[in-house]
Amino acid sequence: MSQQLSPEFRDIDALLRSSSAALSYPRTPDIATRVRARLDSEPRATSIIEKAWAALNRPALRAAAAALLVAAVAVASVLAVPQSREALADLFGLSSVKIEVGPVQGPPPPVLSPNSFASPTTLVGAQEAVAFEIRLPVEDGVRILPDAVYIEDIPGTIEPIVILVYESEDFDLYQRAAGFYGKGVPDADLARESAVHGQPAIWIGSGGHIARSLDADGKLLIETERTVERGTLLWEERGISYRLETGLSEGEAILLAESLR
């Protein structure tokens, strides 16, 4: 509902309207058009970031850049937090391996052979102790029998670890159905991504790292700690985790792992 003006205000309103009709006003200038034309006419410096984004202005390249950024952040997080046990292993796609990166606190544990921490048995006895099928390396279609066989009982787990010792070939092969392996590496560069049958694996170079066993809850078992001087290949197949400690090169270790039958 509009408000009614009093008689005196009506007279003032009429006077203002008649006065405005007699005045001429200049047209509002088009400032935006002139500013835009000036900006377009001047050379414009392109920043490095803008150039990079222009180069990546395609969906495939943007996705690749995002993936690289995620990987870089993940690796940086691992290196920044040495106490993060499973960061590297998760990055490499292994669920049964926990890895710590950082210097050894205190004196390193001793270098031990399986006969000092595991129980000797036969291949038949080891197979009877576990539900999974023990696999052996194959050469020229023939399975290679180990020089010695051991089983290591881990508290809190259902089945022991089977250890096949090939002393003459310079490697020990560990096979386990449940639980976790722990690895302490002094330098992140010592552990790197590898592959067995095209599936994720971890190669830890020679030079000394800490091997340990964890119970079913992932708790460290101090009594199982030992130093491993040889290179180590870790991978998983069909629910079984494998650990190959060897003096072989990474390439030779992968060929050996892929020969298991």
Q: State percent of the chain over pLDDT 90.
A: 42
Distant-in-sequence, close-in-space partners of 151: CB < 8 Å, separation ≥ 6 = 118, 119, 121, 125, 126, 129, 160, 161, 162, 163
The answer on pLDDT for 136 being more than 70 is yes
Mean pLDDT of 19-35: 58
What whole-number distance in Å separates Cα of residue 3 and Cα of residue 20?
23
Query: How far is residue 84 CA from its own chain's centroid?
Result: 12
3-state secondary structure of 174: strand
Domain ranges of the chain: 51-80, 83-258
- Two tokens, residue 140: 């020229």
**Closest-CA residue to 175 (of 129, 110, 207, 227):** 129
CB 239 within 8 A of CB 130: no
Q: At which residue do the structure tokens 């694996």 appear? A: 201
Q: Which residues pair with 194 in a beta bridge?
A: 201
CB 166 within 8 A of CB 173: yes
The answer on pLDDT for 170 being more than 60 is yes
Distant-in-sequence, close-in-space partners of 195: CB < 8 Å, separation ≥ 6 = 201, 254
Quote the pLDDT of residue 236: 94
What whole-number distance in Å separates Cα of residue 16 and Cα of residue 11?
9
Mean pLDDT of 209-220: 74
Residue 3 binned pLDDT confidence (cut-offs 50, 70, 90): low
Strand ranges, E, within 97-145: 97-101, 119-121, 138-139, 142-143
Residue 105 binned pLDDT confidence (cut-offs 50, 70, 90): confident
Among 5-14, 140-149, 185-194, 215-224, whose mean pLDDT is lowest?
Answer: 5-14
DSSP code for 23 = -
The answer on pLDDT for 29 being more than 70 is no
Residue 76 binned pLDDT confidence (cut-offs 50, 70, 90): very low
Longest dimension (CA), the chain: 120
pTM for the model? 0.63
Quote the pLDDT of residue 10: 65
Distant-in-sequence, close-in-space partners of 118: CB < 8 Å, separation ≥ 6 = 150, 151, 152, 161, 163
> Which sign, positive or negative, has the C-alpha torsion 261, 97, 155, 113?
positive
